[in-house]
Amino acid sequence: MTCNKPQVDYSLYLVTERSLLPKGTNFLEHLELCLKGGVTLVQLREKNLDTRPFIELAKQTKAITDKYSIPLIINDRVDVALAVDAAGVHVGQDDMPLQQVRHFIGDNKIIGVSVNNVQEAAEAVNAGADYLGIGAVWFTSTKTLTKKPLGVEGVQTILQSIEGKNVPTVAIGGINMQNTPQLISKSSTSTVHLDGVAVVSAIMSSTEPEQFCKDFANVVIQYVSKSEKSSFVTGGDQKDENALIDDIIKLVPLIRQKGPLVHHITNNVVINDNANATLALGASPIMATHPEDVADLAVVNGAMVLNMGTVDETITNAMVLAAQENVRHGHPVIFDPVGAVATNLRKKVSSRFLKECEFTVIKGNSGEILGLAGKGGQSRGVDSIGSHEESIAAQAVKELALRHKCVVGMTGATDYVSDGQRVIALENGHELMASITGSGCMATTVVGCFSAVEKTDFLLATVAALTTLNIASENAANRPDVQGPGTFRSALIDELFKLSNAPESIRNAAKIRWL
Ligand code: 3NM
Ligand code: MG
């Protein structure tokens, strides 16, 4: 029997949800812009429509997807799919079993199945699924999840379990442009990789869907086409400290080689020090704060550093815009929630940031990170005070990373870094760091510089950044010409510069523990 299944490009799979459209937006118009932008596959997902209006909407939807030669998949409803001659049906674990769907729709239609574990994946593959939707990767507010999110490692486990079966896969749940590089590159091995991402809210709620989908499709294609096992140790499941240090040493000189622009909107106290630290590492600082600069800079930017230390409404608005513009261009956005829970105003502002922006890395001191994670966290002004157990620190970074789908770094005597799965403790640093202003902000700057050149593995970028700055602080403090905070501050910039030019010395100095 010959099979005429439509050829499908799974890279950017839009799953619809009309309730998420921006206010006043027409669904079909929005869809058309998404298709113009580069969505490669569409699933019409309607949970509350009666059959007749569902068929009517599916017909209208298909008229548009046909215009762009993009296949249309119908969620759940075999009858609706048949009624409009859609390309296929997507079923979940509680929907009609695959064999029955196949019986109704025949061999020339696509059947996609949602799977959440290895067993469901095996069943779907054996029953003849045409593709798998693996999820949920992360928390999502689009659907009530009955099971814990898989995380990137959970996705990888499922991909490995169906290795060699030749069934395309997409991941779903909490996916946006910012976390797509990590998702695709870190779920891949040398033999398995995702074929694309399925996205609901990020695309449905976009106010500029054409441009957004264009940017998003570029990010996906870039990472799907180069997906092979991440070359870094943080991309696998070993916990090898020496291999991690090798990766750090490889990363440091890339900043000087590539010289990325690192745009900062930071607080008044640290502008100069942050710019000098950026230069010391070989990157280019730009400290522009005007909202009209933000979009232009996002085009050429390497990474965006946002530091909420100076709370001011105009600057906050510029920062939110900067976060959104940089995400749109696929650049990492690093957030320093200075004094995040210290005052009521700061609580309001930090929660606005966390609601309206998709951060790549959140880097704060223990008061800020424990506070945001809801695990206490004390501060005096914007400085962190008080102590905490390692287990609490590790839990805080991990939970916050999972909640915000990013990497979280918490600085203190020991620094803790997590991507939501793994936690790494960093023991380097010197107490003189606490005697100068803005050393925490400088750490965030350095994370920005590293993230600008390592755009798939932000756990590595953050660990590398903090370790490099910490070792520079030890080297500075140990210099005979350093008498105290004033000389330490200049020596720190010098030592950062020296380390950047001779990173090999990191090998013997680095003190890193996987937890
Ligand atoms: N299915 P968003 S998660 C429709 O886990 C759907 O199978 C999921 O929405 C699964 O991109 C999900 O807005 C919603 O997070 C994904
Ligand atoms: Mg379903």
Domain boundaries, the chain: 12-225, 233-514
What was the pLDDT predicted at 425? 97
Cα 463 to Cα 96, 422, 460, 467, 512: the distances in Å are 46, 12, 5, 6, 9
Q: How many residues does the chain have?
A: 515
Both structure tokens of 146: 């009955």
pLDDT value of residue 178: 85
Task: Tell me the best of 45, 200, 404 to mutate to test the pocket of ligand 1, counting ligand atoms within 8 Å of each CB and taking the most.
Answer: 200
Judge whether residue 222 has pLDDT over 90.
Answer: no
Identity of the residue numbered 497: F
From 156, 217, 240, select the one nearest 192 (Cα to Cα). Answer: 156
Superfamily classification of domain 233-514: Ribokinase (3.40.1190.20)
CATH number of 12-225: 3.20.20.70
Q: Which residues are catalytic?
A: 441
Question: Measured at the alpha carbon of residue 429, what is the angle toward residues 427 and 435, in degrees to the nearest 5?
Answer: 140
Question: Would the pLDDT of 515 be above 50?
Answer: yes
Q: Give the pLDDT confidence score for residue 23 in this predicted structure.
A: 96
Pairing relation of β-strands 12-15 and 41-44?
Answer: parallel
Beta-strand pair 169-172/284-286: unpaired
Residue 237 has pLDDT above 70, yes or no: no
* Residue 252: other Cβ atoms inside 10 A: 24
Predicted pLDDT at 28: 98
Confidence check: pLDDT of 300 > 50: yes
Q: How far apart, in whole angstroms, are the C-alpha atoms of residue 498 and residue 252?
A: 11
Kindly report, residue by residue over 62-113, the tens digit of the pLDDT.
Answer: 999 999 999 999 999 999 999 999 999 999 999 999 999 999 999 999 999 9
Q: What backbone torsions phi and psi does residue 307 show, to the nearest 5 degrees? A: -125, 120
The reported pLDDT for the residue numbered 408 is: 97
CA distance 271 to 34: 39
Quick: pLDDT tens for 11-70.
999 999 999 999 999 999 999 999 999 999 999 999 999 999 999 999 999 999 999 999
Q: What is the DSSP string of 78-144?
A: HHHHHHHT-SEEEE-TTSS-HHHHHHHH-TTSEEEEEE-SHHHHHHHHHTT-SEEEEE-SS--SSS-
Q: Whose CA is nearest to atom 3 of ligand 1?
A: 173
pLDDT in tens, 459-485: 999 999 999 999 999 999 999 999 999
User: Would you put residue 106 in left (φ > 0), alpha (ψ -120 to 50) or beta?
Assistant: left
Condensed to tens digits (0 to 9), the pLDDT of residues 152-165 reads: 989 999 999 999 99
Ligand at shortest distance from the CA of 197: 1
For residue 32, the model assigns a pLDDT of 98
Q: Share the mean pLDDT of the chain.
A: 93
Ligand 1 atom index nearest CA of 175: 11
pLDDT above 70 (res 3): no
Q: Report the separation in Å between the CA atom of 183 and the middle of ligand 1, taken as the mean of its atom positions.
A: 15
pLDDT in tens, 239-254: 889 999 999 999 999 9
pLDDT value at position 191? 84
Query: Given this model, what pLDDT does residue 229 score?
Result: 40
- Between residues 237 and 453, which one has the greater pLDDT? 453
Residues of the chain with pLDDT > 90: what percent? Answer: 81
Task: Show the ligand 1 pocket: residues with CB < 6 angstroms.
Answer: 15, 114, 133, 135-136, 140, 142-143, 172-175, 199-201
Q: Is 5 a residue whose pLDDT tops 50?
A: yes
The pTM (predicted TM-score) of the whole model is: 0.74
Residue nearest to atom 15 of ligand 1 (CA): 174
The average pLDDT across 431-455 equals 95
ipTM above 0.90, yes or no: yes
> Which ligand sits closest to the CA of 176?
1
Give residue-wise pLDDT tens across range 365-421.
999 999 999 998 766 666 666 667 899 999 999 999 988 889 999 999 999 999 888
Q: What is the dihedral sign for C-alpha 138, 139, 143, 148?
A: positive
Matching fold, domains 12-225 and 233-514: no
